[in-house]
Structure 1
Amino acid sequence: MSSRLEFVLLVLSASANIAELCRRFGISRKTAYKWLERYHAEGEGGLQDRSRQPHCSPCTADGELEMQVLALHFEYPYWGARKLCALLPDTVKRPHHSTVHAILQRHECQVLGVPISQSVVFKRFEHELPNDLWQMDFKGHFALTDTAAGRCHPLTILDDHSRFSLCIAACGNERYATVRTALQSTFERYGMPARFTADNGPPWGSTGLIGLTKDCVPQRGV
């Protein structure tokens, strides 16, 4: 016996309490009365699950619309559903772009990407010489085994040309003085880079109007 049929039979008993039975079966009163109505109208068969498919789909594409969408796709293979939808003639009811997209998928029509010339030679992003550019960043932070010691903030500095790791410093924070100490030690060992790249976070970024790091902000009277 299904739980729905069991619920209905219990409700139809003389001493039934619908509110209590709804709590026991974990359903709402609206669902309970729906099952009762179906049972009275169709018997046990009315308690079976029904299809959720709508009785009518006014936005479903007809054959003529599909042919027009496919014709536009073959004429403009690099255009997606939104642009093809805008190109449809006014003689047909303009569908939503999701309907056009569904038509393309149903017919396995792949929107082509921008063609790439075979003569293009890709360049590497690395700089030509060591110390042309250094990359600096904090790689997150994590708690230390000794909770009293706080957290570890790994500071990394990478040479863009050689991909050599110039610095991996276990810092106790991400403050200006801490980074300056690590940088000074790295400069003394490997020299000065021509440029640095870093994100806009502290301590090398600034949210002020000038947008420069602390050492780059011009001092009054200088």
Structure 2
Amino acid sequence: MGCLDSETRRLMVNAVRKGYKIKDVAEIFGVSRKTVWKWCKRTMKRGRPVYRDRSKRPRTTHSKVTEAALVAIIVLREAFNWGTQRIKLNLERPPAYIRSLLESTTGKPWTPITLSRQTINNILKKHGLNGSPYKSKHEWKYFRASRPDELWQIDIRGPIRIGDIRGNVLIILDDYSRYLVWCKFYKSITTETVISVLQEIIKTRKRQPERALVDNGPQFRETFKKTCKTIKIEVTHTPPHYPQCKGKVERVIRTFNEEFLRVCTIFENPLDLMPEFQMWYNDDRYNMGISSCPTELYMHQFDVTHVT
């Protein structure tokens, strides 16, 4: 016999109370003696007899989200404005400086944890932190180079202060792969600085862009344009006051601000960690814009893992 309804259970119990043997009741209703005895025993308790099934929900549940994981999710969201995918990846494989941040926040050694994006979103929703941190939406015209080294975007972040040193950061990004070609701190960046960097990259790495996309800063004017022409690099300037034209390098600068500058204060020699940040960004940081890590696209035709 299948699952018993409430009325059948009541009839079994009444039959036992009228003096029928449990064995006979079990044969009549086509159930085991254990089933008959179970429902008789349940109705012996004080109060009104209940013939419904009890909830199969466990009395105690052990949450997969520990207190340390909960704190880590909130810290990563509030510190970097990351979405669920980025938080998920950094809970599983945090780089050295993120691990240090998590350990200093939780007060214990960090143990990698795997959570679903839905679980992370539920936690953020519970604390009022879900949804886009950027309230307004814009419709930008998207473009992308068709191959590596077709277009490099060049920009300068600064002036900034790292430790006791004030200066600027020169950032060069490959448009196709989002590969961070150059990321280095200088006390001062001039036209000669940018030109020497390009020449060094061409000489040491044997990589050269066909075009360079730059803004209208003093470092990228006539002297820069003439020098680039001699080494066969076409220079394109963005319209004034329109940084969206070089949105990819601007996004890298935002990543640099959020994932390096905000946490570098907890280290003694933060400038020494900039090469590590660049390597992590290229080799290990999953970029959702290209559904890959930048190195995999930039170096796909070369037998190279790390470039420094």
Report the TM-score range of the alignment, normalised by the length of the smaller protein: 0.3 to 0.5
Question: Which of 1 and 2 has higher RCO (CA within 8 Å, sep 6+)?
Answer: 2
The structure whose residues are more often helix, as a share, is 2
Q: How high is the TM-score relative to the length of structure 1?
A: 0.36
Which has the larger Rg? 1
Q: How high is the TM-score relative to the length of structure 2?
A: 0.28
